């Protein structure tokens, strides 16, 4: 065996444990972001979402990835967008931009956690059966903005 072949074999053998360790690292979680709106709508909400991930210790590209799907205010697109996220094996679905994204995701999966945002009572629209005990794979935040708003009548 020649010297350079020996060195190459030795280097390859030394690199094997590093390669094996990398192969054993768990894949980073992929968050499915399903919105009923368009990508440019409500940039402050998306920025807040990213800040919240950072507070929770997640950084896109380092220890998390996000797959974005936008329905562009066309509710009929939501089932195919949600199915695409489910087929990709996302770890969680964040459903925002109205109640429809969460309702569609809920109808398509009972195993992937779904986190919703809602401006109305989630019990009334069928997202959960109880506020005190969210069911199965669905939980979220409701702002109750419609219910708490004052009347404009005199």
Query: Residue 114: which of 134, 96, 93, 132 has the closest Cα?
Result: 93
Q: Give Rg (Cα) of the chain.
A: 22
The 10s digit of each residue's pLDDT in 96-114 is 999 999 999 999 999 999 9
Q: Is residue 128 part of a domain?
A: yes
Q: Does residue 118 lie within any of the structural domains?
A: yes
Q: How many residues does the chain have?
A: 154
Of the candidates 103, 60, 98, the one whose C-alpha atom is nearest the C-alpha of residue 82 is: 103
Spatial distance between the Cα atoms of 89 and 92, rounded to a whole number of angstroms? 9
pLDDT single digits (tens) 80-94: 999 999 999 999 999
Closest listed residue to residue 36, CA positions, set 129, 103, 106: 103
| Residue 84 lies in domain | 30-148
Give 22-40 pLDDT, tens digit per residue: 455 568 999 999 999 999 9
Portion of the chain with pLDDT greater than 70, in percent? 75
| CATH number assigned to the domain comprising residue 60 | 3.40.50.2300
**Does 117 reside within a domain?**
yes
In the predicted structure, residue 134 carries a pLDDT above the cut 80: no
In a domain, 72, yes or no: yes
| pLDDT level of residue 137 (50, 70, 90 thresholds) | very high
Examine residue 10 and state whether it is found in any structural domain, yes or no.
Answer: no
Q: Quick check: is 11 in a domain? A: no
Q: Classify residue 74: in a domain, yes or no.
A: yes
Q: Is residue 62 part of a domain?
A: yes
Q: Structural domain tally of the chain? A: 1
């Amino acid at each position: 065996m020649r010297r350079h072949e020996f060195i190459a074999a030795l280097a390859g053998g030394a690199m094997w444990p590093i390669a094996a360790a990398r192969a054993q690292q768990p894949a980073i979680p992929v968050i499915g972001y399903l919105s009923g709106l368009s990508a440019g709508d409500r940039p402050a909400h998306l920025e807040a979402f990213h800040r919240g991930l950072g507070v929770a210790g997640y950084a896109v590209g380092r220890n998390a990835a996000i797959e974005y799907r936008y329905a562009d205010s066309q509710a009929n697109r939501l089932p195919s967008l949600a199915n695409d996220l489910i087929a990709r094996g996302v770890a969680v679905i964040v459903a925002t931009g109205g109640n429809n994204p969460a309702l569609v995701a809920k109808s398509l999966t009972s195993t992937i956690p779904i986190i919703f945002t809602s401006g109305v009572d989630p019990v009334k629209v069928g997202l959960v059966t109880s506020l005190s005990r969210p069911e199965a794979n669905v939980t979220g935040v409701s702002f109750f903005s419609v219910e708490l708003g004052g009347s404009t009548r005199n």
